[in-house]
Amino acid sequence: MLHLIGPFTQILPLTDLPTRGSIADDELVIVENGGIVVEDGKVVEVGNFTTLREKYESATVQVVGQAMVALPGLIDAHTHICFAGSRAMDFAARNAGKSYLEIAAAGGGIWSTVQHTRAASEEKLAKLTRKRLDVLLRRGITTVEIKSGYGLSVEQELKQLRAIQKAGQGHVVDVVSTCLAAHMKPRDFDGEAEAYLEHILQDLVPIVEAEQLAQRFDIFIEQSAFTPDQAISYLTKLKERGFTLTVHGDQFTVGGSAVAVECGALSVDHLEVSGEEEAALLAQSDTIPVVLPGATIGLGCPWGKARLMLDAGCALAIASDWNPGSAPQGNLIAQAGQLAAFEKLSTAEVFAGLTERAARALGFSDRGTLGGGQIADIVAFPTTDYREILYQQGSLGPSQVWKAGAPQL
């Protein structure tokens, strides 16, 4: 059945934008007094509301009750929201002068969350994750990636992945599960890093595959985690088994971008210390660079090199990195507004990075714009000017969200 949603003061379909590189705001298509025609959960047409109402006489009409600006549903392509516990102690220690790596060496950091997450039941983790999915939906997120990586043993990683699967079942937000068992070598593993990665491949991956718990695998390439050579060996074997790949890279030291490109990863995420060499390499590849402003805000470290990546010709995506340690805020629009100010990003570049380019970082081609045939995921903000959304840096939240054409808020 056809139905027409509107009228919106403005609709930004985000169609026909450059697929790579910089985007000027004057390249945005803005549909005034707009409507969106939906059938079977997909966009049929976007255009003038009055014209569409005349064209689709049989369509049911959902009239929105206030002035709103509509965008495609937002996509958060990098989160760690399946966890238990808090890392407020890490935040206080960082503000007192300790570095991320010093805190990790002293027993804080990822290992602290591992201990709390291991102590939680699968049902408890699923419940916590569902609550965070509810928060994301209210913030306009209609598709989200969630990583494991706080179990760091076969049993505990499976518990996390099953909790992610359980949380996503029946929830309106689409969940993409990623296995990050290679977050770090667990402190209670008796062996070297290479042995731990082989343990994952031999003992965890077959169960993940059999239960269809994840199609994506990730690895953290850093001094406190795994080396580029270790990552290449691990990722190559996963790719041979048909999994898609992503990489935590270039957060504190470079090397991750090169690994991601060599292994054909869908994305490489962080990029705080990337330089011109890394940007050029990514621009010549199909790997999407994903910057994580939440980690910058949480850690007080440099911003991911968004401007550098765009100017080099990359298809930049922006994600929250919502996690209990380095990025506890989880407010993607707030983070993107601040990133735009510091990295001098156009509104068009930010919106593309939260939608179509983020979709590609997760391997999707059926969402991220409001073009014909796309899933009708829509977020609307209570304003008459699209520029207010980033200008207010998170204080202007969505007034309505539609998932596959169905209203949610």
Task: pLDDT tens for the chain, 409 residues: list them.
Answer: 999 999 999 999 999 999 999 999 999 999 999 999 999 999 999 999 999 999 999 999 999 988 999 999 999 999 999 999 999 888 888 899 988 678 877 778 888 899 999 999 999 999 999 999 999 999 999 999 999 999 999 999 999 999 999 999 999 999 999 999 999 999 999 999 999 999 999 999 999 999 999 999 999 999 889 999 999 999 999 999 999 999 999 999 999 999 999 999 999 999 999 999 999 999 999 999 999 999 999 989 999 999 999 999 999 999 999 999 989 999 999 999 999 999 999 999 999 999 999 999 999 999 999 999 999 999 999 999 999 999 999 999 999 999 999 999 8
d(CA 24, CA 314): 15
Residues 204 and 304 in one domain: yes
Measured CA to CA in angstroms, residue 55 lies from 34, 43, 50, 87, 144 at distances of 14, 15, 9, 55, 35
CATH of the domain at 13: 2.30.40.10
Strands (E), 26-90: 31-39, 42-48, 60-63, 69-72, 74-76
Residue 405: closest CA among 380, 382, 375, 366: 375
Looking at the structure, do residues 255 and 318 belong to the same domain, yes or no?
yes
**How many whole angstroms separate alpha carbon 39 and alpha carbon 2?**
5
Quick one: 130 and 14 in the same domain? Answer: no
Task: Tell me whether strands 267-270 and 244-249 are parallel, antiparallel or unpaired.
Answer: parallel
Closest CA to 323 of 125, 136, 79: 79
Note whether 254 and 163 are same-domain residues.
yes
Domain identity same for 40 and 19: yes
Q: Tell the residue number behind the tokens 């220690």, with chain if given.
A: 93
In 148-163, which positions are buried (b, 16+ CB within 10 angstroms) versus exposed (e)?
A: bbbbbbbebbbbbbbb
Q: Are residues 121 and 148 in the same domain?
A: yes
Taking CA atoms, 294 is separated from 173, 303, 334, 350, in Å, by 21, 9, 9, 14
Closest alpha carbon to 5 in 41, 270, 24, 22: 41
Domain of 209: which CATH number?
A: 3.20.20.140
| 311 and 172 in a common domain | yes
In angstroms, rounded to a whole number, what is the distance separating the alpha carbons of residues 214 and 161? 7
Q: Could you tell me if 24 and 149 lie in one domain?
A: no
Other Cβ atoms less than 10 A from the Cβ of 127: the count is 14
Residue 403, helix vs strand vs coil: strand
* Same domain, yes or no: 130 and 177: yes
How many domains, the chain?
A: 2
What's the domain range around 354? 75-361
- Maximum CA extent, the chain: 70
Task: DSSP letter for 304, please.
Answer: P
Question: What's the predicted TM-score (pTM) here?
Answer: 0.97
Closest CA to 288 of 365, 231, 226: 365
Pair 59, 134 in one domain: no
Do 211 and 308 belong to one domain?
Answer: yes
Task: Tell me if 238 sits within 8 A of 266, measured CB to CB.
Answer: no
Do residues 263 and 337 share a domain? yes
Structure tokens at 83: 């966890």
